[in-house]
Structure 1
Amino acid sequence: MVRTYERKTSRGCMPDVIRRAIDHYHTTEDGVKKTAALFDVPKTTLRRQLLKFKNLSAPQREKNVAGLPLGYTRHRQVFTDEQELALVKYLKDACDIYFGLCPIEVRVLAYQCAKQFDIPMPQSWSEKERAGADWFSGFMKRHKDCISIRTPEATSIGRATAFNRANIDDFFQKLGTVIDRYKFEAKDIWNVDETGVVTVQKPRKAVEPTGAKLVGSLVSSESGLHVHVLMSSTRKELFVL
């Protein structure tokens, strides 16, 4: 099956017609053939739905045929919606502590979860010990509003451990004490930041011949210079050093 399936027809019996036919079959003495002709539905379809209703548990039968699943259903999904949401939460939590998982690691994690909780999974998962690429593609599409594939920024351990609530609260508490002690105003507080600029522009993506091993784009220089720019600013002024 293709990764992105779109239904092209509306063939099939209406669910309400099937439910009324099943109810008529159980409340009258009419057989399957007569009931199918009365409601203008294929007898094979009616017989299949009657067998499905027969296999329901007693509490489900008490609800009558209103809760009987009918019509087309989506492709079999390995994890339930609740299980996938738990997996999304785990991935977001791992990203928050700077240990985000790459696509291969996510597929391995999905296989380990299915194996740990005895969830039926495709045979290829067991052979490769990881979920398939099709599952990962569908998983990302189902949760595209929550997660996406991005290139993380390299973060040192010192920076990651220093940026926490306790240190931030301590910083602003000391900052407030200094401002109150020396009566600093907004114009007296400066913000300084540093950045690096390369003198050679980065080539843009271009349409090139397929199979070419080397493609080029003219620039002013190949290596260029790395220039450090130090910028400082206050509430009203901006200086570049």
Structure 2
Amino acid sequence: MPRNYVRKSSRQSWDPASMLKAIEAVNNGEMGWLKASKTYHIPQATLRRHALQKNKTLKKGEKRLGRFKTTFPVEVERQLVEHLKLLESRFFGLTRQDVLELAYNLAVKNGFEHQFNIQKKAAGKDWLRGFRKRNRDITLRKPEATSAARAQAFNKPQVAQFFKVFDQIMQKENIDPMRIYNADESALSTVQRPQKIFATAGRKQVGAITSAERGSHVRVVCCMCTAGNFIPPALIFPRKNMKKELADHAPAGTLCIAQESGWMTGPVFLQWLQHFQKYVKASPTEKVLLIVDGHASHKYLDALV
């Protein structure tokens, strides 16, 4: 059967809900076969067959064309879909191959008739294609790498606790909602990624000039408030001594710091806090709430006092 089969027949275009109503009307003596057929727009022969339960493989109101049938009943497929969603929400999503093997094991252990590959112990690509077409609420996605520490911290109790503490601080310190800032660090690569170019067909190796083949990363610290204002960024260069030329073409007010490893440390965070204070002008009467993550550098004693 073609993989992208387009139906050409109008058979079984009746509504399953209407079929059940028609059967109920006939069984209760409210209508005869002909009247129920015309009222609910169902062929009389089909109505008789369903009402008298002459279909060996289908229940009342169900319909299926052709001799082909799905490996799993609808309710089992939905349970499988919900299982995939649950695992994905817990950061343990299944790959394509995992799903194929799971479908095979599910069919074997529950005694469902199947045409899966017994040698590979996995369902086929055709089954997966049909499974995805029948269940449009799941799709293949490339997951973002997430550390175990972040996954454990990002859950309902932890998020609820965060907002509870946040509420208490806002009320106790009487902080203006427009004076809430959030800061985070990220990495910038110093090596450009070449774009695709036209080259001689059959050539084994194609190159393009970049600043280096393997580059180091420069840490950038960005901070923004709820009003949409930005603090000038800070750049942490992996070197012992700072050169003024490294700040060329950087945004106005950028703080440039030289640190051997290029990572955020306690002393570097203290420097950034002084840079932060220069622009926000926090005081006992004009307090500011700064939200950062739980990195060790943010707990540096000199920065907390």
Band the TM-score falls in, shorter-chain normalisation: 0.5 to 0.7
Q: Does the residue aligned with 1:228 lie in a helix, a strand or coil?
A: strand
Question: Is the CA contact 2:50–2:61 (under 8 Å) kept in the aligned structure 1?
Answer: no
Q: Does the residue aligned with 1:128 lie in a helix, a strand or coil?
A: coil
| Partner of residue 122, structure 2 | 130
| Mapping for residues 152-163 of structure 1, pairs under 5 Å | 152-163=143-154
2:170 to 154, 179, 200: 179
| Mapping for residues 50-199 of structure 1, pairs under 5 Å | 59-61=52-54, 73=66, 75-122=68-115, 124-143=116-135, 145-199=136-190
Question: Is the CA contact 1:186–1:234 (under 8 Å) kept in the aligned structure 2?
Answer: no
For residues 94-147 of structure 1, the C-alpha deviation after alignment (integer angstroms, 9 at most, x for no partner) is 01111111111100100111112111001x43232110122112222333x322
| Mapping for residues 217-232 of structure 1, pairs under 5 Å | 217-232=208-223
> Is 1:216 matched up with 2:216?
no
- Give, as a single letter, the amino acid of the residue that structure 2 aligns with 1:102: T
- Give, as a single letter, the amino acid of the residue that structure 1 aligns with 2:134: R
Q: Which moved more, 1:86-95 or 1:183-192?
A: 183-192
- Give, as a single letter, the amino acid of the residue that structure 2 aligns with 1:79: F
- Structure 1: 5+ residue runs without aligned partners? 17-49
| Partner of residue 6, structure 2 | 6
How far 1:92 moved relative to its partner?
0.6
| Partner of residue 203, structure 1 | 194
Question: Is the CA contact 1:208–1:215 (under 8 Å) kept in the aligned structure 2?
Answer: yes
For residues 195-221 of structure 1, the C-alpha deviation after alignment (integer angstroms, 9 at most, x for no partner) is 111132323356777765433344343
Q: Which moved more, 1:227-236 or 1:132-141?
A: 132-141
Q: Which moved more, 1:230-239 or 1:104-113?
A: 230-239
TM-score under structure 2 length normalisation: 0.54
Q: Does the residue aligned with 1:167 lie in a helix, a strand or coil?
A: helix
Summarize the Cα distance change of 1:67–1:171 in structure 2 as closer, same or farther, 3 Å threshold. closer
> Partners of 1:165 and 1:180 in 2: how far apart?
23
- Give, as a single letter, the amino acid of the residue that structure 1 aligns with 2:3: R
Q: Does the residue aligned with 2:53 lie in a helix, a strand or coil?
A: helix
> Partners of 2:126 and 2:225 in 1: how far apart?
52
Q: Which moved more, 1:217-226 or 1:169-178?
A: 217-226
Summarize the Cα distance change of 1:141–1:61 in structure 2 as closer, same or farther, 3 Å threshold. closer
- Structure 2: 5+ residue runs without aligned partners? 14-44, 235-305
RMSD of aligned residue pairs (Cα, Å): 3.6
Q: Does the residue aligned with 1:173 lie in a helix, a strand or coil?
A: helix
For residues 64-88 of structure 1, the C-alpha deviation after alignment (integer angstroms, 9 at most, x for no partner) is xx97969x53843212332222111
> Is 1:234 matched up with 2:225?
yes
- Give, as a single letter, the amino acid of the residue that structure 1 aligns with 2:104: Y
| Partner of residue 34, structure 1 | none
Question: Is the CA contact 1:197–1:229 (under 8 Å) kept in the aligned structure 2?
Answer: yes
For residues 153-184 of structure 1, the C-alpha deviation after alignment (integer angstroms, 9 at most, x for no partner) is 22222221122221222221112112212111
